[in-house]
Structure 1
Amino acid sequence: MNKFAKRIIPCLDVKDGRVVKGTNFVGLKDAGDPVEIAKRYNDEGADELCFLDITASHEERDTIVHIVEKVAKTLFIPLTVGGGIRSIDDISRLLNAGCDKISLNSAAIKNPSLVEQAANKFGSSCVVVAIDAKKTKNSHNVFINGGRIDTGLDAYLWAKKVAQLGAGEILLTSMDSDGTKAGFDIELTSKISSLVSVPVIASGGAGSMEHILDVFRCGADAALAASIFHYKEIEIKALKEYLSANGISVRV
């Protein structure tokens, strides 16, 4: 695969064993069965798949490993899993269940050394740090627990820190843009992409092919989206053809 090919990553936000989608992290609607949807994306040409157990941290429970196992069995593309991961043992369990990477968010904030330990034990390429960022008066702050708690941390400083700790990728979600379909937060994405040397996955706001083209042009290495793919508003094959025609290198 071309090292510099941009990646298209559908995201499955999972709650109570079902895929859901909301706007600005609230108003969740059912979007289907995670195993069926994962298989469809695998067949349609997605580069990777992201599976987020969105209430695990808030409910202080473990990720739904049995569903992860079922999803992993249907895939021939890399799978990233996040939500409710609090320890090295949790990470081991998920990697053994068949996922390729884990995504840390709340746990990384509460215990930054977990990022370093995970990178040392499993390799940086297995460790994604998710940053849910929301505009404040002067900057962007990092939120945790599914967007419920403002940590007061500056998103730009935190991105630099997790890259130094060994995160192999940053999954950057603009909470202001999430589910709005009004486009990615270009300012946030381009600034973080320029501050770190690791790949940045842009998330939050995809509503059209142009939005995805724009976020790639501003420095993102991958684009993550949910509803436009779940509800078949955009087909992955057509999206890749469009990006390729506009000079973006993608895996066809």
Structure 2
Amino acid sequence: MRLISRIDVKNEWAIKGIHLEGLRKVGDPNTLAVDYYKAGVDEIVFMDAVASLYNRNNLFGVIEKACENVFVPIALGGGIRSVADAAAALNAGADKVIINTGAVHDINLISDVAARFGSQCIVGSIEAKKIDTRWEAYIDNGREVTGLDVVDWAQTLEKAGVGELMITSVDKEGTQRGFDVQLVAAVQEVTRRPIIVSGGYGQPKHLDALLAKVRPSGIAVAAALHYKKQEVAEIRAQMNGYEDTDPS
């Protein structure tokens, strides 16, 4: 399992909110990225939190700067709406692109990017909110409903050619009150793609609750690191304890 630092960015500031809203500045994104890299994270995710407002990603400069001092894989998301956008992100130094809104608007975007660059560089992002007994997919940083069932949409993204999935529980995001384990389990049951879990981590017991039921390929952490609630080494050590075990 990979320990992934998620850094959401708005107007060149790293920000953090709750349920992807009420955004608060938490520092310089490059400074945070270097700190987390030195501390031992396996990967870094940069997400443009306002890409939908500008209809483009504004983080290419951030990625270029990060690549000078960060030597773990970097994934870039927000505003990837075309093959040209994906190419620009990869040329800036990103190892992967994260696509959500663009895929909802045109699922062929996934297959087109996969044909050009390979599935290994595409992360299909799903922002999920629970509606009654099911989860619905959202776009535009959790602001716009799509009407798509998350479980069905995960299968559609797999068939289109994504290399992995990042599942963000909007209900849990920023709360530091635990993951939506049922959501992750429901998606893992229907796809063979690796899953990154995002949204809700706050303390060790949350990781225990998740890993007792599912085994994702990555855990994305933001608030707990930004607010120094836990150190990278502590989370990494706890994850290592599960490496050779199967969930019950």
TM-score range, shorter chain: over 0.9
CA distance in 1, matches of 2:107, 2:243: 35
- Does residue 233 (structure 1) correspond to residue 220 (structure 2)? The answer is no
Length-normalised TM-score, structure 1? 0.93
- Does residue 243 (structure 1) correspond to residue 239 (structure 2)? The answer is yes
**Which aligned pairs between 1:32-47 and structure 2 lie closer than 5 A?**
32-47=27-42
Of all paired residues, the percent bearing the same amino acid is: 35
Instruction: Specify the alignment match of 1:207 in structure 2.
Output: 202
- Say which SS state the counterpart of residue 76 (structure 1) adopts: coil
CA distance in 2, matches of 1:112, 1:19: 29
The runs of at least 4 aligned residues of structure 1 exceeding 4 Å deviation read none
CA distance in 2, matches of 1:215, 1:73: 34
8 Å Cα contact 2:56/2:78 also seen in 1: no
1:90 corresponds, among 85, 93, 111, to 85
> Deviation string for 1:190-242 (max 9, x for gaps)?
11012100100001100112212332342322110101011211111122222
8 Å Cα contact 1:190/1:220 also seen in 2: no
8 Å Cα contact 1:9/1:49 also seen in 2: yes
- Say which SS state the counterpart of residue 168 (structure 2) adopts: strand
Instruction: Specify the alignment match of 1:79 in structure 2.
Output: 74
Instruction: Specify the alignment match of 1:197 in structure 2.
Output: 192
8 Å Cα contact 2:211/2:242 also seen in 1: no
What is the number of residues matched between the two proteins? 244
Length-normalised TM-score, structure 2? 0.95
2:135 corresponds, among 115, 135, 140, to 140
8 Å Cα contact 2:111/2:161 also seen in 1: yes
1:29 corresponds, among 20, 24, 33, to 24
8 Å Cα contact 1:106/1:145 also seen in 2: yes
- Does residue 124 (structure 1) correspond to residue 90 (structure 2)? The answer is no
Instruction: Specify the alignment match of 2:176 in structure 1.
Output: 181
CA distance in 2, matches of 1:34, 1:103: 18
8 Å Cα contact 1:203/1:224 also seen in 2: yes
One-letter identity of the residue aligned with 1:159: A
**Which aligned pairs between 1:55-74 and structure 2 lie closer than 5 A?**
55-74=50-69
1:154 corresponds, among 149, 154, 171, to 149
CA distance in 2, matches of 1:41, 1:233: 14
CA RMSD of aligned residues (A): 1.4
8 Å Cα contact 2:39/2:232 also seen in 1: yes
- Say which SS state the counterpart of residue 22 (structure 2) adopts: strand
- CA drift of 1:145 comes to 0.7
CA distance in 1, matches of 2:235, 2:62: 28
Unaligned runs of 5+ in 2: none
8 Å Cα contact 1:174/1:185 also seen in 2: yes
> Deviation string for 1:150-201 (max 9, x for gaps)?
0010000000010111100100000111111110000000110121001000
One-letter identity of the residue aligned with 1:178: E
- Say which SS state the counterpart of residue 54 (structure 2) adopts: coil
